[in-house]
Amino acid sequence: MNEIKEYTEKVFEDIKHIDEFGNEYWLARELYKILGYSQWRSINELIERAKISCKKSKYNVDDHFALYRKMVGIASKTQRKVIDYKLFRYACYLIVMNGNLKEGIIALGQTYFAIQTRRQELSEKEYNELTEDEKRLYRRNQARKGNYNLNQTAIKSGVKDLARFHNAEYKGLYNGKTADDIFKRKKLRYREDILDNMGSEELVDNIFRITPTDSKLKRNNVDNEYTANSVHYEVGREVRNSVKRLGGTMPEDLSTPDKSLKELEKETKIIK
């Protein structure tokens, strides 16, 4: 086992995936290595115990533990089928709760999956009760995590210039305006983050393009930068058209908040 001093919560963030519906999940065959287990059998035993806990809590096991089989290479030109699980957040929480607390990484996992569930999965009622600044912080966190996964997919799809890749989305969503145009319109200072200076409605517009772009890059097996940038532009444009059809305000016409999220985070400890 590895010592906890080598770890932060980032180890769980680094292996997190997001499906086409925006749901976060972890793969069991990646998680068990992070938890320090050397054999698949060990995590499989934890999963079975976690399933029992899930059932006792009156939850549908299949909604949290998605079994699937995949082919993996074992030798030159040789593959075999192995079992894996897509584990959603509650499943991961139950797994680490059934782990050996003598291992520090298990304790860290318990804290991570318990606290992050509350921070990231608000009900509609809870969200509506937030102030505008709280909504901004909540949405910015979603955008940050979504962009992280999208960036990984983009790099695998051949993207070398991530700034240009995201600029393509801005041009689609903002009717041809570049990131630099938006930066100037918002009158931002040098190196300020554009997303940190958006209201909750504008952040939602930007969030809506993340998962469809990620999914399309994977589904179409995009393998070059030009096509990846085109996909991001097209998705941004489609989000813009949807806003227009619904009678919403175009993103470039939405007002810029008086304070950036960096300023707010310094002043208060509301939802991050």
What pLDDT does 107 receive?
66
* Percent of the chain residues topping a pLDDT of 70: 83
Q: For residue 9, what pLDDT is reported?
A: 63
CA distances from 145 to 8, 93, 195, 247 (A): 16, 19, 13, 28
List the chain domain ranges: 4-120, 126-267
Q: Are 199 and 218 in contact (CB under 8 A)?
A: no
Q: How do residues 162-198 score in pLDDT, each as one tens digit?
A: 999 999 999 999 999 999 999 999 999 888 999 999 9
**Three-state DSSP class for residue 246:** coil
pTM of the model: 0.56
Pairing label, strands 65-75, 78-88? antiparallel
The sheet carrying 17-18 orders its strands as 17-18, 24-27, 78-88, 65-75
